[in-house]
Copies of this chain bind each other. A is one copy, B any other.
Amino acid sequence: MRMVDLIEKKRDGIALTEGEIRWMIERYVAGEIPDYQMSAFLMAVYFRGMTEEEMVAFTAAMAESGETVDLTEVPGVKVDKHSTGGVGDTVTLILVPLMGAAGYVVAKLSGRALGHTGGTIDKFESIPGVHTDLSPREIIDQAKRIGVVIAEHTQDVAPADKLLYELRDVTGTVPSLPLIVGSVLSKKIAGGADLIVLDVKCGDGAFMQSFPEAKGLAESLVRVGNELGKRFSALVTAMDQPLGRMAGNALEVRQAIEVLRGGGPEDLREVTLALGAELLLLAGEEGDEVTARRKLVRLLDEGVAWEKFLELVAAQGGDTQCVEDPARLPRAREVVEVRAPRAGYVRRLSARQVGVAAGLLGAGREVKGQEVDPAAGVELLAKVGDAVDEGAVLARLHLGERARPEEARRLVAGAFEIGDEPLTPGKLILARVR
């Protein structure tokens, strides 16, 4: 078999066999297929796509390209979630302890911020003392002990995905449905859970900006995922404005704490409950969605999820006093306000611009390996549908050490569109795909 023949086959629109795909991924991870051939292949996939059979083989080959987290020795039902990335999306920090409180095992592997979207690992690590670099052994032991783990994705799990993602990033081949499907699912398949819920974000601040694209991705993810012997479900959720009122690491931890204590912004709580209920139904719990949500609401309101969160923070070395008293979390030395230029109703609030602004304030990284500032970010005081007076504070910018406040200010000010007509915010859960 020669790689050039597989490139030409794909280029000419002919589906590759499972054996060909497996050979290609194995040889690539072994360093025997050069990047210049793989990038030509990826661009051919961009134009030609993949059949569902090819996606299944591609995902399986990537999932099997390195270590897998084997949770079989952990008793209980193992669940997992994944979001395609948005702004203010701190659902994982809430859903992991919530599902733990409901009696499920969640060994969540997460990534770091890149581009305008945050990363769960950066957020979790903004709690002083928390470490996330756990070995597979440590993950399994903690899962056995307390049922919940949030660990950094290492390159030992699905290394093919890591290599391919880095190559796609510099070769214009990121926005390709089959490549996204392979990337998302390979990590979930290697992650060891049985039931997985996917949150496919849709809108201005998401990777998929239109509903048909997002729905199509959700459908492919669920179909291919189910083919691979796990049970998947997906929600398509709105990401036109940020979720919640915070974009930034410690800021989002504060927000997660509010929800875990039974409060917090309604939209963040809503998405968390919808994803959690979906997992309970996937697990075959009795009753319908209403029953499932009621159970989760009780776990939030009665403090069971909160107790599980404290356990999780403590297990990973975190200072629980800082979460008991969020005022002790990292705080910016300087805060700048963005005010409304006129009275009216917020008609639009660009998630993408807020995300980019949070990055400019220090919450994100422009290149891999850069440090993020845990205190930096954007706090939103108004969201879509809110009435505002002229001069009212729309947002507070929390300046990190290397913040570029002027650019960030312009972006956040421009992210708000204020009009005369009142507006009801659109639906949050746009579709469910099972």
Residue from B37, B167, B173 in contact with A170 in the complex, judged by beta carbons closer than 8 Å:
B37
Interface positions of A from 105 to 146, Cβ below 8 Å from B: none
| Chain B proximity mask over A169-210: 1 for CB below 8 Å, otherwise 0 | 111110000000000000000000000000000000000000
Main secondary structure of the interface of A (DSSP, over half): helix
Whether A167 contacts B36 in the complex (CB less than 8 A), given A43-B44, A44-B172, A172-B44, comes out as yes
- CB-CB under 8 A for A37 and B39, given A11-B172, A171-B7: yes
| A4 on interface, CB distance cutoff 8 Å | yes
Chain B residues, Cβ within 8 Å of A170: 3-4, 36-37
Cross-chain contact B37 with A171 (CB below 8 angstroms): yes
Minimum Cβ distance to chain B for residue A1 (Å): 14
A34 proximity list for chain B (CB < 8 A) = 35-36
Report if A77 contacts B (CB, 8 A): no
A8 interfacial contact with B, CB 8 Å: yes
Q: Would you call A42 an interface residue if the criterion is a C-beta within 8 Å of the partner chain's C-beta atoms?
A: yes
What is the CB-to-nearest-CB distance from A35 to chain B, in angstroms, rounded to a whole number? 4
Give Cα distance in the complex from A36 to B43, angstroms. 11
Bound-state CA distance A40–B172 (Å) is 8
Answer yes or no: A46 CB below 8 A from chain B CBs.
yes
Task: Give the shortest distance, in Å, between A4 (CB) and chain B (any CB).
Answer: 5
Digitize A140-170: 1 where CB-to-B-CB distance is under 8 Å, 0 elsewhere.
0000000000000000000000000001011
Inter-subunit contact B39/A4 (CB<8 Å): no
* Given A4-B171, A35-B36, A37-B170; 15 other pairs, CB 8 A cutoff: A4-B169, A4-B170, A7-B171, A11-B43, A11-B46, A34-B36, A36-B38, A37-B39, A37-B171, A39-B43, A40-B40, A40-B172, A40-B173, A43-B44, A43-B47
